[in-house]
């Protein structure tokens, strides 16, 4: 009886997997074709509304470089131009796009690259960054309590700085609404907290003239945070995609780093070739089930179809917000919902590929730099993470046995959102045990 039950269970599982595989092939073949069809459509619309056809990654790498796209070879993720699509190659071979694919495609004046596109929202909150002439990031600073300076026991103790980086589809609210309120009074009195919107998200600039590479992110943080506030030493706390940027920032300023904490980092071992493609296949496999995985694949593999979705949702986010408020009977929507639409397709697309996927090429090198500098590296892995495989934690431990890796019984977002107090206590402990400030000389 047990043998028959086991046989039937295995047969059912095999049939289900075969059915899912067949469905995946049919659906994604159709999407491959549809995405290729939308390429000339968007080029025509861009030329009609803006006077020039916008560059895309339907061409091969050589053609892209001729058009002025992707000339920074080391920073451009291979997932942008090596995503397999048979129909795209057929369209390119037909030469239908030659009338759009001239050298002017990749070049535009700086004003148009800062302007709003016809397919993007033009509300005050979405274009507020354009009024900021210096194009700095939106930064939220929580200064220490003034009462801390009046305590004799703490007069000689310098205020420490902490920089927080959020993940994709998020903003500084991810930290200011969760961890900041749950820090102890002593921490709030002695630590200066910096949370900011990453380049391309929230209220920060979303220019079209950059490719949102790791270098772009690091330079924007230096320009908006480290230089203006003269941060000679600091701790770093980063979540998800922000972890990749945090490692690049920390490696460049390793002498100033006291500690770095990476929460649910998308880690994929660096390889000689194909590291970013491996990251894309792992984070966004082409599957129609579960629905969340299908949406991730849809947004990550299809440049033009994802732009359609951004046009429908992000371009008209105010209307959707009104509808959701009516349906939920809320005056204010949760910040996680509103943050998901505060980006452009250009900023999302390049952050996904050049940071999340392309960052796999630099992660190991940056970790080695930090280990060599003696900085305190702490990693928190979510055991029930459905976005980043939890097995990545074991891979990190095997490759870098000296790193501090903790496992939390939570999902990708619930590792912070449902554990605010626990995360706050954990961070306080890490900061207190951080590397001594090399720039602080105690008085005799």
Task: Give the structural domain span for 200.
Answer: 124-275+356-432
Could you tell me if residue 212 is left (phi over 0), alpha (psi between -120 and 50 degrees) or otherwise beta?
left
Residue 223 has what pLDDT?
A: 96
Residue 275 in contact with residue 360, Cβ under 8 Å? yes
Is 77 part of any domain?
Answer: yes
Q: Is the pLDDT assigned to residue 217 strictly greater than 80? A: yes
Q: How confident is the model at residue 83 (pLDDT cuts 50, 70, 90)?
A: confident
Residue 88 in contact with residue 39, Cβ under 8 Å? yes
Is 291 part of any domain?
Answer: no
CA–CA distance, 111 with 115 (Å, rounded to integer): 6
Of 108, 133, 155, the residue that ends a domain is 108
Is 420 part of any domain?
Answer: yes
88 plus 139 within the same structural domain? no
Is 11 part of any domain?
Answer: yes
138 plus 97 within the same structural domain? no
Output the average pLDDT for the chain: 86
3 state DSSP class of 194: strand
pTM, two decimals, is 0.91
Report in angstroms the alpha-carbon separations of 417 from 154, 268, 296, 345, 406.
32, 24, 21, 26, 17
Give the contacts of 328 (CB within 8 A, at least 6 positions apart).
Answer: none
* Beta bridge mates, 380: 263, 406
CA–CA distance, 211 with 219 (Å, rounded to integer): 13
CA–CA distance, 45 with 236 (Å, rounded to integer): 43
Closest alpha carbon to 82 in 301, 362, 249, 269: 301
Residue 91 in contact with residue 39, Cβ under 8 Å? yes
Tokens 């706390």 map to which residue?
237
Of 51, 73, 108, the residue that ends a domain is 108
Residue 232 in contact with residue 439, Cβ under 8 Å? yes
Is 287 part of any domain?
Answer: no
Across the range 181-198, mean pLDDT stands at 94
Task: Output DSSP code: residue 357.
Answer: I
Q: What is the pLDDT of residues 22-51, one digit of tens each?
A: 999 999 999 999 999 999 899 999 999 998
Q: What is the pLDDT of residues 242-296, one digit of tens each?
A: 999 999 999 999 999 999 999 999 998 776 567 899 999 999 999 999 999 999 9
138 plus 66 within the same structural domain? no
Across the range 141-166, mean pLDDT stands at 74
The better pLDDT of the pair 70, 410 is held by: 410
Residue 129 in contact with residue 210, Cβ under 8 Å? no
Within the chain, what is the greatest distance between any pair of CA atoms? 82
The better pLDDT of the pair 72, 170 is held by: 170
Determine how many CB atoms are found less than 10 A away from the CB of residue 373: 16
Please report, rounded to a whole number, the percentage of residues in the chain having pLDDT higher than 70.
Answer: 85
Q: What is the CATH number of the domain that holds 150?
A: 3.40.50.1820
Catalytic residue set = 166, 240, 385, 412
Quote the number of domains for the chain. 2
């Amino acid at each position: 009886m047990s043998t028959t039950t086991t046989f039937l269970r295995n047969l059912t599982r095999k049939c289900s997997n075969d059915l899912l595989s067949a469905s995946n092939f049919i659906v994604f073949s159709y999407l491959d074709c549809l995405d290729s069809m939308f390429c000339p459509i968007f080029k025509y619309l861009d030329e009609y509304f803006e006077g020039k056809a916008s560059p895309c990654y339907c061409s091969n790498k050589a053609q892209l470089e001729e058009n002025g796209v992707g000339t920074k070879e080391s920073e451009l993720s291979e997932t942008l131009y090596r995503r397999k699509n048979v129909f795209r190659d057929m369209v390119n071979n037909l030469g239908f796009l030659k009338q759009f694919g001239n050298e002017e495609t990749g070049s535009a004046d700086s004003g148009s690259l800062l302007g709003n596109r016809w397919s993007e929202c033009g509300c005050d909150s979405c274009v507020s960054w354009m009024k900021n002439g210096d194009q700095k990031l939106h930064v939220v600073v929580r200064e220490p309590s003034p009462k801390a300076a009046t305590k004799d026991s703490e007069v000689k103790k310098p205020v420490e700085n902490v920089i927080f980086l959020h993940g994709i589809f998020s903003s500084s609210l991810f930290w200011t609404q969760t961890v900041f309120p749950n820090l102890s009074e002593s921490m709030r009195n002695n630590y200066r907290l910096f949370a900011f919107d990453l380049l391309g998200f929230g209220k920060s600039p979303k220019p079209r003239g950059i490719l949102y590479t790791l270098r772009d992110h690091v330079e924007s943080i230096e320009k908006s945070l480290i230089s203006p506030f003269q941060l000679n030493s600091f701790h770093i706390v980063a979540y998800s995609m922000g972890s990749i940027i945090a490692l690049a920032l920390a490696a460049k300023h390793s002498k100033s780093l006291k500690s770095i904490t990476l929460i649910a980092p998308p880690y994929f071992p660096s390889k000689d070739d194909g590291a970013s493609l491996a990251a894309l296949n792992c984070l966004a496999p082409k599957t129609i089930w579960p629905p969340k995985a299908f949406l991730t694949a849809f947004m990550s593999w299809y440049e033009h179809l994802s732009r359609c979705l951004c046009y429908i949702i992000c371009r008209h986010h105010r209307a959707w917000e009104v509808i959701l408020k009516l349906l939920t009977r809320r005056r204010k929507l949760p910040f996680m919902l509103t943050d998901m639409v505060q980006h452009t397709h250009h900023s999302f697309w390049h952050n996904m590929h050049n940071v999340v996927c392309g960052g796999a090429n630099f992660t190991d090198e940056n970790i080695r730099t930090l280990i060599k500098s003696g900085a305190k590296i702490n990693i928190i892995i979510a055991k029930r993470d459905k976005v980043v495989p939890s097995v990545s934690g074991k891979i990190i431990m095997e490759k870098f046995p000296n790193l501090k890796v903790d496992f939390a019984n939570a999902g990708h977002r619930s590792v912070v959102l449902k554990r605010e107090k626990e995360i706050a206590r954990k961070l306080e402990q890490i900061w207190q045990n951080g590397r001594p400030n090399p720039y602080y000389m105690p008085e005799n």
